Amino acid sequence: AFPPLPRRSRVTCRKRFQGKADLMAGRFEGGRAGSSASFGRGGSFSRATSGANLKARIKAAFDAVDTDGNGVLDKKELTVAIRTQLGMQLEDPINEIDVIFAAVDDNNNGLIEIEEFIGMLEPQLKKNDEHNTVMEIEEVMRLVFTGYLNTAKAERARINKSFNMAHEDTSPTVGAPSPTKPAPEEEEAPAEDPGDAEKEEAMPAEMAEKKEEPGPKGFGVDFWGYSWRFKLYDDLYTNAKQDDGKDVHLTQRVVNLKKRLENISKGTDPWIAQAMESSERVKMEIANPKAVQRYCALWLKHLLAVEAEW
């Protein structure tokens, strides 16, 4: 939910008159391709501009961004609008434009259609209507786009925090050999007492059940590097793919991450085998695949906890 901007107390009669004139003409200052169209003049939305008029104004804004006039917006056109018409200063332009575009492109076809553009603006416009707030159209777009970026940043912060917490849980084991040095040669074990086997067999069933297999020991024992973790992060979140090879939609990335972490931890996802097969480095690093399963279980556990307290 986006907080409404402060209500403007002064809107001149000229602006109101000009807004109606522009609406009837269906135009924006600056015109079509090759121009630096502006959303400012006559582009404000108030309680008076609702229903059909509201959609007409959104359509006019859409046309101002659609510089080639083909009825859809591509990433290049949106980028120009964000940088010139909206004047937004982005910290990470390439990635942040990708985030904004993906958030608007609901059907994930690489283009923004008029229905998606209307769906992007209508919720905020209705909220403004409830508060009788008057805003220029570029203000509405900047507010919505900033909301997308803030949501994406918060999501990535939660992912990173839980990722690092899982990393800390599998930190070097006390007494484990250094990953930069070969493990010392083991001393020859003393000869076994033949009676030990008989004692083992004679052990009560209850005690035998309590014997636990040694679990994953972490860095220096079960794995000897960290590149597999970054590949895991990339494959499951940053560049996650669907079964058909298409990118997982922005709104589904966390859902996809949780599902795959759970499946890897249970051994039902082929990621470990695929990663070891496709990368010699990953193959050399992972000595015990169960350690990766445990890491995925920990990442998922911490992610759910972080989300609950966020």
The predicted-structure confidence for 246-290, as pLDDT tens digits, reads as follows 889 888 999 999 999 999 999 999 999 999 999 999 999 998 999
Backbone angles phi, psi at 44, to 5 degrees: -85, 150
* Section 214-227 average pLDDT: 66
Which pLDDT band, with edges at 50, 70 and 90, does 220 fall under?
low
* Section 198-216 average pLDDT: 42
Quote the percentage of the chain above a pLDDT of 90: 49
Which pLDDT band, with edges at 50, 70 and 90, does 110 fall under?
very high
Cβ neighbors of 90 (< 8 A, separation 6 or more) are 82, 96, 97, 149
Most distant pair of Cα atoms in the chain: their distance: 103
Residue 49 burial (C-beta neighbours within 10 Å; 0-12, 13-18, 19+): buried
Which pLDDT band, with edges at 50, 70 and 90, does 135 fall under?
confident
- Cα–Cα distance for residue pair 198/146, rounded to 1 Å: 72
Quote the percentage of the chain above a pLDDT of 70: 67
User: Residue 38: its pLDDT value, please?
Assistant: 53
Residue labelled with tokens 């904004």? 100
- Cα–Cα distance for residue pair 46/35, rounded to 1 Å: 27
Cβ neighbors of 141 (< 8 A, separation 6 or more) are 39, 61, 81, 86, 121
Phi-psi region of 132 (alpha: psi -120 to 50; beta: other; left: phi over 0): left
User: Residue 127: its pLDDT value, please?
Assistant: 86
pTM beyond cutoff 0.75: no
Residue at 256: amino acid letter: N
Which pLDDT band, with edges at 50, 70 and 90, does 129 fall under?
confident
* Section 15-34 average pLDDT: 36
Phi-psi region of 71 (alpha: psi -120 to 50; beta: other; left: phi over 0): left
User: Residue 219: its pLDDT value, please?
Assistant: 56
pLDDT over threshold 60, residue 206: no
- When the pLDDT of each residue in the chain is averaged and rounded to a whole number, the result is 76
